[in-house]
Amino acid sequence: MIDDVSEVGDGVFAVDTGYVRPRLDASHLVVADGVAAFVDTGPASAVPRLLAALAARDLEPAAVDAIVLTHVHLDHAGGAGALAASLPRARVIVHPRGVAHLVDPTQLEAATRAVYGDAAFERLYGGLVGVPAERIEIAEDGARLALGRRSYELLHTPGHALHHLCVFDSDTREVFTGDAFGVSYREFDTVAGAFVLAATTPSQFDPAQMLASIDRLLARRPSAAYLTHYSRVGTIDRLGADLKADVEALAAIARGAADDPMPRETIAARIYEHWSRRLDAHGYPADPQRRGALLRLDAELNAAGLWSWLTRARR
């Protein structure tokens, strides 16, 4: 059985939010000098797991100083309002563009329902609660966050979303990347190491911005990255090069299918074929059923985001 909580760094714990399947979606609990913060929350249904992770470390709710949201997509921030209500001292730190969606998640809910459908929305994300405006702290680019003796830099990193930010630990040179550094499922780890995929999901994906944000992160020479999907990876230079190549390949796939009669379906199929070839080269076993279970939905969502980007670019 996979534990809900794993210690993945010095004072850093990955909490499996229970979203969709094990080891898909992580909230990271950071503890320093008796003070704590969460980076991303997962959906609303994850809040009991996050509170249990605190209790298991003998931390009271009042020990949590901050809830930092890399962006407001609901697999990252759907639990922010409910969690804040349980943590009396915690500031909710978010990119300026995300503030309105936290205070009133109505528009975000509508956009998510449009992507996933009503039934899936209720199953995955139901129970959204707004965050009181007075609990929110805006994260300007380059702002600092102190947590005990630790110091973090908040970096605006658009590309996956215009309201995306990353959290860079100035002492350990580790970075919490949300979706800006792609997704890396632990099931795809082989003797070659971790395997990374671009996250081009709807609705604000932009390849040029994403590549620039990856370069911005790489320029800080991080020792490790904590991805929401899923947790700690090393060998950052290799993964960064792989990720940039993947962004470029997916953008080329989308351009090549722009005039297809069923472009989104064609893009999704070609993305899956591209990723499958990469997995072969990575040494992942040729198991079509398992690959499909892990990657088909990602391919479909990435295709939707690519099509949204192409549609904007062609206006």
- The model's pTM is 0.96
Please calculate the CA angle 140-142-143 and round it to the nearest 5 degrees.
Answer: 60
Collapsed DSSP state (helix, strand, coil) of residue 227: strand
Closest residue by Cα to residue 228 from 176, 173, 293: 176
Instruction: At 85, list the tokens.
Output: 């209500």
Tell the residue number behind the tokens 């893009």, with chain if given. 267
Amino acid letter for position 307? W
Between β-strands 91-94 and 136-138, what pairing exists: parallel, antiparallel or unpaired? parallel
Tens digit of pLDDT at every position of the chain (315 positions):
346 999 999 999 999 999 999 999 999 999 999 999 999 999 999 999 999 999 999 999 999 999 999 999 999 999 999 999 999 999 999 999 999 999 999 988 888 888 888 998 998 998 899 999 999 999 999 999 999 999 999 999 999 999 999 999 999 999 999 999 999 999 999 999 999 999 999 989 999 999 999 999 999 999 999 999 999 999 999 999 999 999 999 999 999 999 999 999 999 999 999 999 999 999 999 888 999 999 999 999 999 999 999 999 887
Give the CATH fold of the 5-94+96-138 domain.
Metallo-beta-lactamase; Chain A (3.60.15)
What pLDDT was estimated at residue 111? Answer: 84
**Closest to 305 in 3D by CA, of 182, 198, 201, 162:** 201
Domain limits of the chain? 5-94+96-138
pLDDT at 2: 44
Contact 193, 296 (CB under 8 A): no
* DSSP secondary structure string for all residues of 7-54: EEETTEEEEE--SSSTTS-EEEEEEETTEEEEE---SGGGHHHHHHHH
Provide the pLDDT for residue 303: 98
Residue 290 corresponds to which tokens in the numbers above? 């398992």
Rg (CA), the chain: 19
Confidence (pLDDT) at 3: 67
